[in-house]
Structure 1
Amino acid sequence: MKAHIVGGGFGGLAAAVLLVRNAGISGPDITIYEAGDVLGGGLYLQGTAQRGYNLPGSVFDREFRCAFDLLAGIPAAKTPAMSVTDEFFAFNDAEPFDDRGRIVDRDGRLVAHDPRFGLTLGDFLRLARVALTPEAWLAGRRIDAFFPEAFFASEFWLLWSTLMGSLPQHGAVEFRRYLNRFLYLFPNLSDMTHILRTPYCQKQAFVEPMAAWLHPLGVNVLTGAVVTDLAFAPATERITVVGLEVERAGAAYPIAVAPEDLVLVTTGSQAACMSVGSMTEAPKPPGGGAAALWRRLAERRAGFGNPDVWFAADKAADSRWVAFTVTTTGTDFQDSLARLTGSKSGSGGLVTLRDAPWVPSVTVFHNPEVLGQPQDATVWWGYGLYPDRPGGHVRKAMTECAGAEILEEVVRQFGFDGRLAAIMRTSTCVPCCLPFVNNIWLPRKGGDRPAVVPEGSSNLGLIGQYVETPRDIAFTIEYSARTAWEAIHRLTGRGPAPPPVYQSQLDPKALLAALGVILGR
């Protein structure tokens, strides 16, 4: 048995590890086809300390059961005597978030936390209604269909949306899943107590250790290899892949697939059409071509979902972020933020500028964020929830701004004008436009995401953020790991089934914690 994995992001690498560990397939019989020049997908590391880094953000908790089970057998990059999982939890136990100031108003002052997060009893009842309503009844509906306008002005919604990425016009189905998955976080949304982070950037913490583990096993990794199509056996009652069409280095060639072989396809990427700018240039408008293979499959066969729900050009307005990574040799911004929030630099989580037009949120990483980062460099990161709005000081949409303009707008919105010149002189801000990064939140209906193993498939599995697996939440490495694990288990019948998805609404401790919020305790 051979295995062909399309996509070298976290899901594709997880699939390769699981094929070896759970299915007993030898490394030389596994091939990863990655369209880009490097592995990692949305867990990227670009740039240098001198030119400025470009990094993603993310959210983790202790219940990423598939991902942490998988990573428990992978040596960590910085401390190879420990597993990636053990290093991750040891770091978070030693360096937990201590976010003492989560929201800042237009006057540069901290907004006091309300124990009930500004919610009324009616709001709590509406949240419970969404959480308890069957998904089929929420299909295609928006979050704002269930809540009054005042709900979206509450502290709860600001904390939730800036942490999770949801907007009022996003889908009620994914909102329901997030509520049930993260109910236990409710009491600590303002201080991020139970939110976890990597000890250093995700590319080095997750991607490089998995790649290093796979390399000596002889797993084949082809970068710059674009799988343009799949060939299927002519029988209509079964779905059996018999070939791959691959383009690499300007040449096209077919890859034969035997009936007993496996093909695992990553259907799409949240980092699709990513565009990176500089201090002096805004990110260029994105090109097309997102999810091209998935589109081709869906056009030819029923049961492969609807990629246009996520990747149509007109969806970007509701899914686009502009993120920015600041690399600095100074301490002016970090010191000013620490004085404002009361959080030690590097220990605070997100800080959100509530009244700024872009509604930007920033976090100072626990440095060094990059292995090999110079000692005199510090890295911090942010993103804008509403990047199409004109800024308050820089009168341009965030999407049109160079790094220097984004940095100026954010610094001035914090009220750090007196330190602006020093911050600008010692910092490099790299903007990154991600037109589809937040599209997992878009309204969807049953069938819009294909099954992990399409009905009738004998050797094809679909993995990543845009396939359907019950109860779990997308926009996480856990979703990628779970879909890979499920596909391999179902197609091969080997190894254990994936562990169950953690559900807060079934956890008595989580329910008591949520009750405490309702009572204002």
Structure 2
Amino acid sequence: MARNPEETNAYLVGGGIASLAAAVHLIQDAHVPAPQIHILESGPLPGGSMDGAGDAEKGYVLRGGRMLNFSYLCTYDLLSKVPSLTDSKKSVKQEIDEFNAVPENKTDAHARLVATTEKGPEILNVKHMGLNAREREDLLLVAGSSEEVLGTKRIDECFGAEFFRTKFWYMWDTMFAFEPWHSAVEFKRYLHRFIHEFPRINSLAGVDRTPYNQYDSIILPIETYLKAQGVDFRYETKVNSVSFAPSSAITVSEIHVVSKGGATGIIHVHPQDIVIITLGSMTSCSSLGTNTSPPAPNPDLALYSRDGSWGLWSSLADPIINPHSSHFGNPSNFYSRIPESAWLSFTVTLKNPAFFHQIEEWSGNKAGTGALTTFKDSEWLMSIVVPHQPHFLNQPDGTQVFWGYGLFPFKAGNFVKKPMADCSGEEILTELLHHLNFPEHPTLDNAITIPCMLPYVTSQFLTRKEGDRPEVIPRGSTNLGLLGQFVEIPRDTVFTVEYSVRGAQMAVKELMGLGKEMRIRDIYKGEHNVKVLVDALRMLLT
């Protein structure tokens, strides 16, 4: 049913990109007055997993980065509605387009894969995928199988062991952060969703970059816009649970919150109001180390309930607490498998240009143009991204920042004989310098490396069965929508900004009853374009 926006209060639980996107569309498409939009965020800042913080003295921190490209139709639609921080006459989308149109900023990786040899690092020729006939057949079989047939299969149940040592796999898994034990269904979705990336998987030429890190370039402009409109941001406000009206329909009647000081409160939700909750979090329970100490160990599984995002979802899916629990999926499938979902990222802050000079000369890429460099023989399967500088709005001249990650944090390193999870920032940078055969000094003397352990970072990729992920609008809901990386959006792919934004648009359109008044762009279907399909097949056959 259509709601009267003047009489609607919208309560958005979680301050990540999904809630921020929902707020923008509530204002611009549903015409809800901004002061009637309330964002309840348990932390001190918005942005969720799209974060970026720190300074040159203590070191910068990026827990990760997101790939953007032209196929993110919902994301780019959102960013076209938000003014740039630097020029209010431009949108964030225009700012990103102009940045990527500069020839010196275009992505063209010359050192995508690196092998470790006795003579030192060797940049591999990646014009060929290295697949044999059987592996190509297996790829096409997975791509052509239904999700029902693939079911709960892992990727490594669909391929032989040699497939995971091909150039294709090293480039694909580090570009998207897949592991062999992840969901074959999600892998199939990626093969379809990103078929246009096949011909340039070796150069990453299709990747769009933001002028700064994605917090400064995307989250901060959206937050600034929403605050200027009058949106009510309530930081350090944790939502413990919601109550439902006594009815066969799913109607939220109360939101139970805890403020920073521990005071509890109840928000009464009226029938004309809406509630939109972001479920789960890929960066919850993350822990930072320092240049001289490793991150704190992974949490015990019992601790998940202390984290707002997982605890709230668990309460919604608990049949003892919620009579409608069968409509809310199975969060334990995603939070209880830390060895399968954890990896470690690290951010390096440099006060000496030696490393940047060396990496640019060695790779043939100026900072910001090389995208991802993967050390395929690294026991940690380590990759680094050297971005355009400055990468932070507050980054002073003479300071450089880059980040990286390791997909196998529980293995001992090639040079530093410890698991990556047990290493200090200095030890991780030492391992990287040895893979590059760069001298340790002066880089180590002038660097702050901050490691970050992420126990749930790829939990959305874990194998799953039908029903483990709830629908954006649960069946029978009158005023509740669900967002984030753990809801079910048919055909689209998790671990993307696009997934969160598309879900937000779906929730706003349905809950506000907008119908044809709000258009949501369809998912990009590259396989329906003959040229894209031919180019992809040609690359697959190399």
Of 396, 400, 406, which residue of structure 1 is paired with 2:418? 396
How many positions carry a matched residue from both structures? 515
Provide the alpha-carbon RMSD of the alignment: 1.2
1:126 paired with 2:138, answer yes
- TM-score under structure 1 normalisation? 0.97
Measured in 2, the distance between the counterparts of 1:412 and 1:215 equals 47
Q: CA deviation at 1:272?
A: 0.6
Letter in 2 for 1:69: D
Whether the 8 Å contact between 1:104 and 1:353 is mirrored in structure 2 is yes
1:215 paired with 2:227, answer yes
Name 1:246's counterpart in structure 2. Answer: 257
1:309 paired with 2:333, answer yes
Measured in 2, the distance between the counterparts of 1:386 and 1:117 equals 23
Name 1:491's counterpart in structure 2. Answer: 511
- Taking the TM superposition and a 5 Å limit, the aligned residue runs for 1:498-509 are 498-509=520-531
Name 2:5's counterpart in structure 1. Answer: none
Letter in 2 for 1:246: V
Q: CA deviation at 1:517?
A: 1.2
Of 68, 71, 84, which residue of structure 2 is paired with 1:60? 68
Whether the 8 Å contact between 1:101 and 1:110 is mirrored in structure 2 is no
Name 2:178's counterpart in structure 1. Answer: 166
Q: CA deviation at 1:308?
A: 0.9
Name 1:292's counterpart in structure 2. Answer: 311
Name 1:45's counterpart in structure 2. Answer: 52
- Taking the TM superposition and a 5 Å limit, the aligned residue runs for 1:72-221 are 72-94=80-102, 95-107=105-117, 108-221=120-233
Measured in 2, the distance between the counterparts of 1:93 and 1:131 equals 33
Name 1:465's counterpart in structure 2. Answer: 485
Q: 442-451 or 94-103, which moves further after superposition?
A: 94-103
Q: CA deviation at 1:518?
A: 3.5
Change (3 A) 1:376 1:492: same
Whether the 8 Å contact between 2:289 and 2:450 is mirrored in structure 1 is yes
SS at match of 1:327: strand
Whether the 8 Å contact between 2:367 and 2:389 is mirrored in structure 1 is no
Measured in 2, the distance between the counterparts of 1:147 and 1:310 equals 24
Write out the 4+ residue segments of structure 1 that deviate beyond 6 Å after TM superposition.
Answer: none
Letter in 1 for 2:403: W
Name 2:447's counterpart in structure 1. Answer: 427
SS at match of 2:327: coil
Letter in 1 for 2:32: I
Name 1:445's counterpart in structure 2. Answer: 465
Structure 2: stretches of 5+ with no match in the other structure = 1-7
- Taking the TM superposition and a 5 Å limit, the aligned residue runs for 1:405-420 are 405-416=427-438, 419-420=439-440
Letter in 2 for 1:75: P
Measured in 2, the distance between the counterparts of 1:66 and 1:452 equals 16
Q: CA deviation at 1:81?
A: 2.7
Of 265, 269, 292, which residue of structure 2 is paired with 1:280? 292
Q: CA deviation at 1:114?
A: 4.5
Q: CA deviation at 1:519?
A: 4.0
Measured in 2, the distance between the counterparts of 1:79 and 1:518 equals 43
Measured in 2, the distance between the counterparts of 1:265 and 1:203 equals 21
SS at match of 2:448: strand
SS at match of 1:17: helix
Q: 444-453 or 508-517, which moves further after superposition?
A: 508-517
Measured in 1, the distance between the counterparts of 2:11 and 2:335 equals 25
Whether the 8 Å contact between 2:280 and 2:484 is mirrored in structure 1 is yes
Whether the 8 Å contact between 2:121 and 2:435 is mirrored in structure 1 is no
SS at match of 2:538: helix
Q: CA deviation at 1:106?
A: 1.2
Name 2:243's counterpart in structure 1. Answer: 231
Q: 340-349 or 400-409, which moves further after superposition?
A: 340-349
1:355 paired with 2:363, answer no
% identity of equivalent residues: 37
Change (3 A) 1:355 1:519: closer
SS at match of 1:317: helix
Whether the 8 Å contact between 1:228 and 1:293 is mirrored in structure 2 is yes
Measured in 2, the distance between the counterparts of 1:346 and 1:85 equals 19
Change (3 A) 1:176 1:519: closer
- TM-score under structure 2 normalisation? 0.93
Letter in 1 for 2:113: I
Q: CA deviation at 1:30?
A: 0.8
Whether the 8 Å contact between 1:449 and 1:467 is mirrored in structure 2 is yes
Letter in 1 for 2:107: F
Whether the 8 Å contact between 1:486 and 1:497 is mirrored in structure 2 is no
Name 1:3's counterpart in structure 2. Answer: 10
Name 1:479's counterpart in structure 2. Answer: 499
SS at match of 1:373: coil
Whether the 8 Å contact between 1:121 and 1:518 is mirrored in structure 2 is no
Q: Deviations over 1:148-193 (max 9, x none)?
A: 1111110000000111011111101110111101111111111111
Measured in 1, the distance between the counterparts of 2:147 and 2:97 equals 33
Name 2:4's counterpart in structure 1. Answer: none
Structure 1: stretches of 5+ with no match in the other structure = none
Q: CA deviation at 1:395?
A: 1.3
Letter in 1 for 2:250: I
